[in-house]
Structure 1
Amino acid sequence: MPLVDRLQNETRAHYAGLETLICVQALAAGTLPPDCHRALHQALAILQQALTQALAATSHPVLVALGAEALPVHPLLEQGLVSGVPQDRLESHALIGAIALGVRMRSAAHREPLSLLGYHYALRLALFPLPGTSPWREFAQRLEGVTIEAAEEEGLVRAASEAFSLIRRLLDALHPARELPPTWWLNRDAGEHPMTMDLDELQAALRAAEASWEEFPYYACRYGEHGRQFSWSDSAWLVTLSGQAEAQVWKHISWLGGLLAGRGMPRLMLERHLRMLYQELVHAKPMQRRAYDVLWQVAERMAEERRRLLDDQELRTFGEDFDVRVGPEWSQRLRGMGELLAAAVADECCGLAQAVPSLAAWMCEPSRFPEPWIRAVEETLTRARAFCRVRIPSGMAGRE
């Protein structure tokens, strides 16, 4: 099936669902309240800016041509009412979802460049097509002669569906207005907890989450998109700890690290994320550096606890040895797994009893991995346990 036909087929239900929304009907009837109209414009401005930046960051000729296009303004979205991207704090919680999708698009520009065609299709062509136009015709023409592999096509279609889902969620909650906690826009299952509402900080938190997922493909393989949303909401919460006393921040982050380790994420992953978050925050708001320093300090404290058992070079050695054992195909598909195994053993020796079982059970599943991989996991755990246990400092073993 041609790609454009597949896109139409797989997004038809999304599009039909949009037309049933009260918000869309009010927009068409000209009865959408001004504050909702403004929030919608700001959300679209955020998405347009993010897509334009993502397209500009790629070198694929098809994407370069798309990036040079000017986006026409739909008659329903009068130019006189267009509000640009907010510059400081967010006026509407609905904008949080648009920011999250914007960060995802910019991340995709580096990871899966052709998935930007899916975002382009949904956001520029399908959501608000101009009356009397056939947006798919020009889109199809652009794809003529472009070779797209199966994995790239899947990513492209997934991106289009993701954009439709986000916009539907935004419009559905925008009007009629509902009282929803800010975290709902990042993760509907996160509950109500604090998160930054500063635009720059929120974008930095989401960039850090995406960078963490890029460093460890294990995140996506095991936890999928649902897990990504928890990374978003957790990262946005971590920002709120900035400026607090180190002892208090350590208490919060130690709790989170133990919780995540028991769910298959060694504390090394949180340690690395905190460093990425700190760097993104300082880059975004350098004048606030002193407030953010506590995040780096806590990451370093967490690292020092691990280094008593397993220093950075030893951790890398375990990772390199594991990669040799599993071979280039698997070591590239799931980067960093040897380090995570060794780090989980260090967590176990620090008293987190479920750190290894929660990771090893997934990594030793025969339906998921070949025998050489499983053997490498078991051998790495055996060696790491022998290595760490002889180095347990007095008073550390069994500590919660």
Structure 2
Amino acid sequence: MEQPTLTGFRAELKQRTSELHHEAHGIPYIQALLKNELPALSYVGYLKALAIIYGALEKHVLGQEGEKLKPFLHHYLRKLPLLLSDLYDLDGSQTPDILPAVGQALIMADAIMVHSISRPYALLGYLYTLDGALNGGSILKKHLSNALGLTGDTGIRYFSCFGSNYRDFWMNFLGALDNHLPDDTARESVVLGATEAFAGLIALYKMLHPVDKAMLGTHITSLNPEAGHYPITTDPHEIEAAVKAGLACWNHYPFYEERFSERGRRFAISDAAWLVGLCELPLETAVGQIRWLANFLSLRGMPSITMEMQLHTLHHELGPHSPHKKPRYHNLLDAATVLKKGRLSVFDQRTFIEADNLFNKQLKDNNVSDQRLIRLSLHMGSLIASSMADGSLWQEASRASFESWLTDESVFPVPWINAVKTTYQLLEKRQKQP
């Protein structure tokens, strides 16, 4: 594989991912694998996640939009068919999904989609990280065979692709990175993709082992891991509407930028594009997937009322911008109605209307005057109420994720934190009784 002494861009790339590489070795998933103790549930979860990620990556690097990347892909062997074969061998469709891991894979698939449009060379960074992990494939497959009692290549075809063809690709790929990237911007995009993929995989590994049994379930990707969320629309009018809806939601809630920075803006857009794709599904299935995404995002600190707003805005944008004016777009409004009905089972509508003023009063009482915080407070009361409703309807962690950020002393001053805590306390008194 790589020579002992590296030069050129490949040396820089390895150096700039070295800390993440070192961190990965201490993760419980990797330790259990090397001790021949990895549970089948964790390994199948890993295969499912990689199928989602590679499904997105290979779609974009090998499709028409990846035309400029083709000089880097001589001898490339598609990994998705191998992963799907391994899942078939291990009866993956009958194995419970580790839902946080599925969610993490979908986040990475979304990032790949966004990069394919705005920063295509970042996809080479993803490929560097993902395929680079196969350098140890011959060792890893032995540990998997021992841990799971596998024979031959059954269930480990993905790791068994480590061979002469793979070595040819890998050395050509590294050489192309050294010699064929057009400029420093392209090189920085590769580094961004590589580090982003590495950090994403580390987060994924942590979700796969040990497994929190409360986080097991069934996600639609079990039926078709290749689809990821679902195919994102390619209709230019729908993409334009998704971009406008994503940015409108981003601008409506200043907390997005404060908490998630530029990355959050990209995902707001890609989520909107995914929501358009759900309109192709039967209503019940589409609503189920939207509720799943709303729940998943709430666990990461995005109260579900933000999803409601995005659904309404997306439906509005699709109307004038799509020449089709398809009846199926009404799925978006139906899903928004379901989400609204849920939160109104916890608080009445008047509480949501008054929550913003309630929070602003607490800011005033606590003498909060910093302009950054005043801007951040826009719609914050209704977001707090939504986080509480999400915690009651789904998991308490939905509330905790949002509340813990708002009361983080390393981020916010004490007067702001006091205002947040008091608002939560006052709203608790207005919750409907079960």
- Scaled by the length of structure 1, what TM-score is found? 0.51
Say yes or no: does 1:391 pair with 2:411.
no
Say yes or no: does 1:302 pair with 2:339.
yes
**Cα offset, 1:95, TM superposition:** 10
Mapped partners of 2:422, 2:293: distance in 1: 29
Contact map agreement 2:287 2:331 (CA 8 A) in 1: no
| Count of residue correspondences | 232
| Alignment match, 2:416 | 373
Contact map agreement 2:355 2:381 (CA 8 A) in 1: yes
**Cα offset, 1:96, TM superposition:** 6.2
| Alignment match, 1:362 | 405
Contact map agreement 1:364 1:374 (CA 8 A) in 2: yes
Q: 1:265 to 1:169 in 2, by over 3 A?
A: farther
Mapped partners of 1:335, 1:165: distance in 2: 41
Mapped partners of 2:232, 2:308: distance in 1: 19
| Alignment match, 1:331 | 374
Q: 1:167 to 1:192 in 2, by over 3 A?
A: farther
Instruction: Give the aligned residue type for 1:333.
Output: L
- For residues 112-123 of structure 1, what are the structure 2 equivalents within 5 Å? none
Structure 1 runs not aligned, ≥5 long:
1-34, 40-92, 101-163, 173-183, 393-400
Contact map agreement 2:303 2:390 (CA 8 A) in 1: yes
Mapped partners of 1:266, 1:222: distance in 2: 13
Once the two structures are superposed, what CA deviation does each residue of 1:54-88 show, in whole Å capped at 9, x if it has no partner? xxxxxxxxxxxxxxxxxxxxxxxxxxxxxxxxxxx
Q: Which of 271, 275, 278 does residue 308 from structure 2 map onto?
A: 271
Instruction: Give the aligned residue type for 2:251.
Output: E
Give the structure, 1 or 2, with the largest relative contact order (CA under 8 Å, sep 6 or more). Answer: 2
Q: 1:95 to 1:262 in 2, by over 3 A?
A: closer
Q: 1:367 to 1:207 in 2, by over 3 A?
A: same
Q: Which of 216, 227, 243 does residue 264 from structure 2 map onto?
A: 227
Contact map agreement 1:243 1:290 (CA 8 A) in 2: no
- For residues 66-215 of structure 1, what are the structure 2 equivalents within 5 Å? 97=117, 168=186, 193=229, 194-215=231-252
Q: 2:232 is paired with a residue of what secondary structure?
A: coil
| Alignment match, 2:223 | none
Say yes or no: does 1:242 pair with 2:279.
yes
Mapped partners of 1:242, 1:221: distance in 2: 31
Say yes or no: does 1:284 pair with 2:327.
no
Instruction: Give the aligned residue type for 1:201.
Output: E
Say yes or no: does 1:313 pair with 2:333.
no
Mapped partners of 2:328, 2:397: distance in 1: 33
**Cα offset, 1:277, TM superposition:** 1.0
Mapped partners of 1:232, 1:273: distance in 2: 10
Contact map agreement 2:242 2:269 (CA 8 A) in 1: yes
Identity %: 27
Mapped partners of 1:254, 1:213: distance in 2: 20
- For residues 241-260 of structure 1, what are the structure 2 equivalents within 5 Å? 241-260=278-297
**Cα offset, 1:352, TM superposition:** 2.1
**Cα offset, 1:99, TM superposition:** 11
Q: 1:171 to 1:308 in 2, by over 3 A?
A: closer
Once the two structures are superposed, what CA deviation does each residue of 1:168-212 show, in whole Å capped at 9, x if it has no partner? 48998xxxxxxxxxxx9xx99999542111111111111111111
